[in-house]
């Protein structure tokens, strides 16, 4: 089963900024997003469940300082992407 990827506004802004500034990172992000769509809880970029105020969300490493933050809605088979810059924004 493949999940649909949905960008929330902040994630779209982050992705657009990456597209303007760093094409290599954009390719890495696309690779991670393809992997998330196929298996959101395992795979590349060290998926990890988040805790505390981010409980229910997951993180994948883009690089040393930036993470993709996302949640999965299995009822409608969709992955919501919250952000792609920095570590863990609330």
What is the set of active-site residues? 48, 87
Q: Which two tokens stand for residue 22?
A: 């760093």
**Cα(first)–Cα(last) distance of the chain, in Å?**
29
Q: At what angle do helices 9-21 and 23-38 cross, to 10 degrees?
A: 140
Instruction: For residue 44, give the nearest of 60, 29, 57 by alpha carbon.
Output: 60
């Amino acid at each position: 089963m493949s999940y649909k990827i949905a960008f929330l506004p902040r994630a779209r802004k982050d992705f657009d900024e990456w597209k303007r500034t760093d094409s290599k990172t954009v390719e890495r992000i696309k690779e991670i997003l393809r992997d998330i769509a196929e298996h959101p809880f395992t795979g590349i970029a060290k998926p990890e469940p988040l805790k505390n105020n981010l409980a229910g969300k997951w993180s994948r490493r883009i690089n040393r300082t930036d993470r993709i933050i996302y949640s999965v809605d299995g009822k409608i088979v969709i992955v919501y992407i919250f952000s792609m810059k920095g570590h863990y924004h609330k």
